[in-house]
Amino acid sequence: MASDKDRQQRDYLLNRLVKRDRHLAKWAKRTDSDCYRVYDRDIPEIPLVVERYGDAALVALFERPYDKPDDEEAAWLLEMKAAVAEALHLEPDAIYLKTRRRLAADEQYERKCEGPGRLRTVREQGLSFLVNLDEYLDTGLFMDHRPLRQMLRHDAVGRNVLNLYCYTGSFSVYALAGDASRVCAVDLSNTYLAWADENIRLNGLDSSRYQSVRGDVQDYLISAAVRSERFDYIILDPPTFSNSKKMAGFLDVNRHWPQLVQQSAALLAPGGVLYFSTNSRDLRLDASLLAGLACQDISARTIPEDFRPSCHKAWRITRAGSAVN
């Protein structure tokens, strides 16, 4: 049974959600979007992240720094779920609950269940994407990269674009929508590549300008260099850690980022741009490790209002002295 404190916190959350959603809904309508983050642990006693996905919402409970009895936590979550449903005008069964915990350095999130999952369509800046709110902790759309995707769409016309660790292909969709002449996307997962194909079809984009490569990004970078491939824009947004069985080794972005950036930048065409991004809290980009490259921190420009003050780091990297297209 919920306590008086639970009900008080429910009211706090409800009021906060109503205000934020009212504010963000104006931006959403203006930009033809219906997915955004409404709440991010704004009240310390309510360690939730709430994200709207059209006519559904994802509520993630972050691991508390103290133990709370399971029955008390369950009762508290029911109160919070009711607040989300009321504030966002959603049906209770359209609220998805998940728990996030801090992973060890060598851990990664695993899929929660088997099967195709339940996909729903959301809108982001005039484009459509499939999301899955119940199988993974992540939904298939990293909304914090919305501004960087828009930058790519604006600049992609007539350009060759390489999307590394492409996930479900949101950057690829934006590049094609921006009339890129060619988009190449690389990922180890057949599931994510198929998901990216569906996102491209969903938007009615020309798939003849799109190529997907199923493979290890580090292997691809070596083979592409041998083939002397060149790209005008490269997206490098690796996972913080991966030890997939499909890889020969493992990826630790805090350890391997200089090599990844150097190998990716080697594929830049004259005047080309590499966008490197990470969610690692520990990574500190040391430009002295990137000989011949110029690095500009664009993190502040690429973080949307609903994810401020920070969520990722991003850099715009070019060849030193190169005139940018």
Cα separation, 151 vs 180, in Å, equals: 13
Residues 17 and 68 in one domain: yes
Does 109 map to a domain?
A: no
Among 176, 162, 146, 190, residue whose Cα is nearest residue 268 = 162
Residues 146 and 60 in one domain: no
pLDDT in tens, the chain (325 residues): 889 999 999 999 999 999 999 999 999 999 999 999 999 999 999 999 999 999 999 999 998 867 789 899 999 999 999 999 999 999 999 999 998 765 444 444 444 433 335 899 999 999 999 999 998 879 999 999 999 999 999 999 999 999 999 999 999 999 999 999 999 999 999 999 999 999 999 999 999 999 999 999 999 999 999 999 999 999 999 999 887 766 667 789 999 999 999 999 999 999 999 999 999 999 999 999 999 999 999 999 999 999 998 889 999 999 987 766 6
58: which strand partners?
51, 96
Specify the CATH number for the domain of residue 260.
3.40.50.150
Contact between residue 53 and residue 120 where contact means Cβ atoms under 8 Å apart: yes
Does 68 map to a domain?
A: yes
Residue 283 main-chain phi, psi, to 5 deg: -70, 130
Among 18, 88, 23, 45, residue whose Cα is nearest residue 306 = 23
Residues 74 and 172 in one domain: no
Residues 233 and 171 in one domain: yes
Does 202 map to a domain?
A: yes
Does 213 map to a domain?
A: yes
**pTM for this structure?**
0.93
Does 287 map to a domain?
A: yes
- Which of 100, 124, 152 finishes a domain? 100
Domain that holds residue 12: 4-100
Specify the CATH number for the domain of residue 55.
3.30.750.80
Does 15 map to a domain?
A: yes
Residues 158 and 300 in one domain: yes
Domain count, the chain: 2
CB environment 165-176: b (16+ within 10 A), e (fewer): bbbbbbbbbbbb
Residues 88 and 201 in one domain: no
Contact between residue 127 and residue 173 where contact means Cβ atoms under 8 Å apart: yes
Does 69 map to a domain?
A: yes
Sign of the CA dihedral with 49 first, then 199, 310, and 267 last: positive
DSSP codes joined into one string, 61-111: EEPPSS---HHHHHHHHHHHHHHHHHHHT--GGGEEEEEE-PPPTT-----
Does 167 map to a domain?
A: yes
